[in-house]
Structure 1
Amino acid sequence: MPVETTTLANGLIVATEHRPHVESVVLGLWNHSGSRDERPEEHGIAHLLEHMAFKGTGRRSAEDIAVEIENVGGEINASTSVETTSFFARVLKEDVGLATDILCDILRDSVFDEDELQREKHVIAQELGAAMDTPDDIVFDRFAEAAFQGQPVGRSVLGTRETIETFSSDQLRSYLAREYGADRMIAVAVGAVEHDVFLREIESRLSDLGPHAGAQRATDAVYTGGEFRESRSLLDAQILIGFEGKPFLARDFYASQILATVLGGGMSSRLFQEIRERRGLCYSVSAFHWSFSDAGLFGIHAATGEEDIEELLPVLLDQICTLSNDISEEEVSRARAQLRASLLMSSESSMSRASQIARQFLTHGRVLPRQEVLDRLNDISAERIADLAHRTFMGSVPTVAGIGPLGPLMPYDAIQRRLGSSVVETRQAAAS
């Protein structure tokens, strides 16, 4: 079914996708602000606001919110990312009105009670502690910080114990007024829902919502590259190597997804086959590409024992460099098939589809037809991927992050030299 959209007079977008063969509806509100919209002294406030939204409104206590949604068998949750914050619910089709009312209530009338705030600060402190105790999670935060040094886009969404402890209810209200508004928000419902019904529910509650009160983002994110190393006495080491990636709207966005898939997107990928299967140098290796509205980050993650680090890094770097001169149409075709399947399979989930619709509207100003996305993937050749690999891996300063027994990990400047010498060698080999 096609996505139906209506834009209210205040600029808020309402979008629905009707699915006649399901009994449930996923619905939510997505606001185009996240952790990168925080001021330096506000690090972590976007995530704290997400937590506090469920801690009571003028009409409902925190317990009331939980009880009302679970009385009808529903689920409610929220999520904060670098550039968006979302509040969403999943209910049966007859309970769309209730779920919409609760979501709009927490957006418009959260009280941010001081006692609840103190308790939630404690909860987030525990969350921070758990993250620090999980190297394979926290290393990704340190990776982003090294790639975008001194910038909000590179900071952890969670914040720090020091900043979280300083926040007051008034600061939460101020942040909400500044960053939330109809002009940067979309309401989405996917499932057993009629567009007109959901539109009326949203319009009756949010038609008078004004624009956000803050200024637009003053500066674009700038990839810097760099390194972070933390030696810990662990059984394994978590290692990340990265390069400048592409933003959502860049011409090479989809090509970067294919490149990541060819390099480390599955069991048939270059890195998995060479490093894990043939050489047994790690138990996990993968590649990924993160995009933001104005920047991107291409990364490779490996988890291995201390005894294999010394051999692992040169092999990994050589695999990176050979891609610019040695990639086949068969590999690109396989990666394209993986991305196509992932797109279509994820669309079968109402939750994934709702998030996709919201993300595309906030990024592109429209929902991209599936065929348009597939056509863009089909237009990408092996030659184009090879060119992108050269520009990505040889054209930017690397980012390195590691946690664990890092003694054998190649020094940062040696990694840079290895990348430079490897590309010369592969070019010479190709020429001969």
Structure 2
Amino acid sequence: MTENFRLTTLPNGMRIASEQMPHLMTSAVGVWVDVGTRHEHESVNGVSHLLEHMAFKGTETRSAKDIAEAVENVGGQLNAYTSREHTAYHARILAEDLPLATEILADIVEHSTLDQTELERERKVVLEEIGQVEDTPDDLVFDLWQETAYPDQALGRSILGPPEIVGSMPRQALADHMRRHYGPEQMILVAAGQVEHERLEELGQRWFGDLQRSAVDPFVKADYRGGDLREERELEQVHLVLGLEALTCHDPDIYVLNLYSSIMGGGMSSRLFQEVREKRGLAYSVFSFVNAFPDTGTFGVYAGTGEGDLDELARVLTDELAGSTDSITEVELVRAKAQAKAGLLMGLEHCAGVCEDVARHLLTFGRRIPRDEILRRIDAVTHDDLKRVAKRLFANPVPSVTALGPCSKLLDHDKLAARLRH
């Protein structure tokens, strides 16, 4: 199903990838950079995200307003994001405007001036963004949980960075970060939709072909440690995240783990939703998640509840997780497979989803994984696989526990770990 996928490499090492969707009249195009929060030194935590903001604040030939108007004048959309591993700049446009969008993307990632006046203004915007997270406990608890799971290392730090660092980060730090990490071998130009690969390759050579290679920083392996963080706040709810070390994205069992997560907390029919919300009314929001990186991974659950229900919630969550090793049914597996396949195919019905999928695969796996291969691997998961991976998770659990709110009644870390042990 990916016979329309093409990949070439420019002489300077930059990859150009496209996936033709001939039934569309639009295209998505973006530049994905293989750098994120986990590549930052502690002294400049937040630099990747701040640089992403600054890329839109003016280049050698365009002001911030010029950049916005150039895309929106043709009905397009321009955006960006920073993750723990990657930074992306992407656009959605009509097919005939692909050359314009590609040139603008090249301009902002190669020729941003990082103007000092704009920097002082934009850092205030980012500080407001940090403040917004601080005021949103169901977001903040995940940042705190990540730090609990990976303390004193880049993977555990906030994507936005702490306000004291962002508020004083010098322009030179952004310039150095761009120089080190925005080399051609660290970037991929990806387009999907109504796109001809030869034309995209020409545009890539024209706008990125003169980029010079840069030294790639060595990869620092993550070290999951687990731990316990409880922060008392005057909130109506306790926001609780309970997680464990799990699988890397390269582990053959990663498809099994994703199906397990779907069964436990992936929707309204999931075990946790039914037991915690529908049967007991302990929480409005409860779900599970999987984070898989090349060198580490986690599985966890989130729930928010009132102070009086916290003890019961913790016991129900741990009982459901520990008890899952021997109780998952074939019916649950069939449903999880259907949900996984439907989610995959629905997400790839628009060009932006395909563009993101191509970039993620190339950055993480070095290849475009065909959809048929993914579907086969989902279908191949057996009931015994689920039991085996669940037992693997809970054989000797070292949980990461984070609670935000009136959390004094939460079981201590050792008791939670004991309840999770299979």
TM-score tier by shorter-chain length is over 0.9
Amino acid at match of 2:20: H
Q: Which residue of 1 aligns with 2:296?
A: 295
Q: Which residue of 1 aligns with 2:77?
A: 75
**SS of corresponding position for 1:324:** helix
**SS of corresponding position for 2:325:** coil
Q: Which residue of 2 aligns with 1:426?
A: none
Q: Which residue of 2 aligns with 1:177?
A: 179
Q: Which residue of 2 aligns with 1:325?
A: 326
Q: Which residue of 1 aligns with 2:366?
A: 365
**SS of corresponding position for 2:167:** helix
Alignment gaps of 5+ in structure 2: none
How far does the alpha carbon of each residue in 1:398-426 deviate from its partner, in whole angstroms, 9 at most, with x for none?
01011111122111122122223xx3xxx
Q: Which residue of 2 aligns with 1:113?
A: 115
Displacement after TM superposition at 1:333 (Å): 1.5
Over aligned residues, Cα RMSD in angstroms?
1.1
Cα distance in 2 for residues equivalent to 1:370 and 1:140: 31
Displacement after TM superposition at 1:80 (Å): 0.3
Cα distance in 2 for residues equivalent to 1:184 and 1:72: 30
How far does the alpha carbon of each residue in 1:119-150 deviate from its partner, in whole angstroms, 9 at most, with x for none?
01111111111100000000010111101111
Amino acid at match of 1:405: P
Q: Which residue of 1 aligns with 2:391?
A: 390
Q: Which residue of 2 aligns with 1:403?
A: 404
Displacement after TM superposition at 1:157 (Å): 0.2
Cα distance in 1 for residues equivalent to 2:121 and 2:397: 44
Alignment length, in residue pairs? 420
Q: Which residue of 2 aligns with 1:252?
A: 253
Displacement after TM superposition at 1:349 (Å): 2.1
Amino acid at match of 1:272: F
Q: Does 1:152 align with 2:154?
A: yes
Are the aligned partners of 2:228 and 2:413 in contact in 1 as well (CA < 8 Å)? yes
Q: Which residue of 2 aligns with 1:241?
A: 242
**SS of corresponding position for 1:327:** coil
Displacement after TM superposition at 1:232 (Å): 1.1
Amino acid at match of 1:385: L
Amino acid at match of 1:312: L
Are the aligned partners of 2:397 and 2:420 in contact in 1 as well (CA < 8 Å)? no
**SS of corresponding position for 1:27:** strand
Cα distance in 2 for residues equivalent to 1:392 and 1:119: 46
Are the aligned partners of 2:397 and 2:417 in contact in 1 as well (CA < 8 Å)? no
Displacement after TM superposition at 1:331 (Å): 1.1
Cα distance in 2 for residues equivalent to 1:9 and 1:328: 53
Displacement after TM superposition at 1:95 (Å): 0.9
**SS of corresponding position for 1:220:** coil
Cα distance in 1 for residues equivalent to 2:123 and 2:343: 37
Q: Which residue of 1 aligns with 2:138?
A: 136
**SS of corresponding position for 2:62:** coil
Displacement after TM superposition at 1:44 (Å): 0.2
Are the aligned partners of 1:135 and 1:403 in contact in 2 as well (CA < 8 Å)? yes
Cα distance in 1 for residues equivalent to 2:309 and 2:120: 45
How far does the alpha carbon of each residue in 1:247-288 deviate from its partner, in whole angstroms, 9 at most, with x for none?
111111111101111111111111111111111111111111
How far does the alpha carbon of each residue in 1:189-213 deviate from its partner, in whole angstroms, 9 at most, with x for none?
1111111111111111111212232
Cα distance in 1 for residues equivalent to 2:30 and 2:78: 9
Cα distance in 1 for residues equivalent to 2:222 and 2:6: 33
Cα distance in 2 for residues equivalent to 1:412 and 1:171: 39
| Range that drifts further, 377-386 or 129-138 | 377-386
Percent identity, please: 42
13, 16, 32: which one aligns with 1:14: 16
26, 47, 50: which one aligns with 2:49: 47
| Range that drifts further, 48-57 or 308-317 | 308-317
Amino acid at match of 1:290: N
**SS of corresponding position for 2:302:** strand
Amino acid at match of 1:116: E
| Range that drifts further, 407-416 or 298-307 | 407-416
Task: Give the alignment of 1:270-349 within 5 angstroms.
Answer: 270-349=271-350
Amino acid at match of 1:410: L
Q: Which residue of 2 aligns with 1:189?
A: 191
Cα distance in 2 for residues equivalent to 1:20 and 1:335: 31
Q: Which residue of 2 aligns with 1:85?
A: 87
Amino acid at match of 2:73: N
**SS of corresponding position for 2:60:** coil
Cα distance in 1 for residues equivalent to 2:262 and 2:273: 11
Displacement after TM superposition at 1:330 (Å): 1.7
Q: Which residue of 2 aligns with 1:209?
A: 211
Are the aligned partners of 1:177 and 1:213 in contact in 2 as well (CA < 8 Å)? no
Cα distance in 2 for residues equivalent to 1:117 and 1:72: 28
Displacement after TM superposition at 1:21 (Å): 1.9
Cα distance in 2 for residues equivalent to 1:184 and 1:101: 18
Are the aligned partners of 1:238 and 1:402 in contact in 2 as well (CA < 8 Å)? yes
Cα distance in 2 for residues equivalent to 1:396 and 1:152: 23
Amino acid at match of 2:306: G
Amino acid at match of 1:68: A
Q: Which residue of 2 aligns with 1:56?
A: 58
| Range that drifts further, 3-12 or 97-106 | 3-12
Cα distance in 1 for residues equivalent to 2:320 and 2:251: 25
